[in-house]
């Protein structure tokens, strides 16, 4: 498999994982916030971290049968996306330097 294709697939995978993570967060915290009477956006920091408040909200959702959100998927997707973008940029610069523009 060509390097450029592999990098493009990695970018797509990172974007997909990050998007799925954001949708999962939105679904879980929409229902939990609805039970609390709060705005879902009040818990936006729970997308990337697990504070005591986030753990409380996750537990409330779990007690109602909602699969709790885990920010590990968000971080994994973000790392894959950023690394693939950095590697692709570096790859393109190196190809341009060598005169192999693709």
The one-digit pLDDT tens for each residue of the chain (102 residues) are: 588 889 999 999 999 999 999 999 998 888 888 888 888 888 888 888 888 888 888 888 888 888 888 899 999 999 999 999 999 988 888 888 887 655
E strand intervals along 1-102: none
Query: pTM of the prediction?
Result: 0.82
User: 75 with 48: CB under 8 angstroms?
Assistant: yes
Nearest to 55 by CA among 86, 63, 3: 63
Q: Where are the domains of the chain?
A: 16-94
Cα–Cα distance, 100 to 92 (Å, whole number): 9
Q: What pLDDT, on a 0 to 100 scale, did the predictor assign at position 77?
A: 95
Q: What pLDDT, on a 0 to 100 scale, did the predictor assign at position 98?
A: 82
Q: What pLDDT, on a 0 to 100 scale, did the predictor assign at position 10?
A: 94
């Amino acid at each position: 498999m060509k390097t450029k294709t592999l990098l493009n697939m990695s970018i797509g995978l990172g974007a997909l994982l990050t998007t799925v993570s954001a949708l999962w967060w939105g679904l879980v915290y929409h229902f939990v916030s609805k039970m609390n009477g709060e705005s879902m956006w009040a818990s936006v920091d729970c997308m990337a971290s697990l504070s005591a408040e986030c753990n409380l909200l996750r537990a409330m959702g779990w007690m109602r049968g909602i699969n709790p959100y885990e920010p590990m998927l968000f971080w994994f997707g973000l790392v894959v996306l950023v690394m693939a973008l950095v590697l692709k940029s570096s790859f393109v610069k190196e190809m341009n330097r060598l005169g192999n523009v693709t």
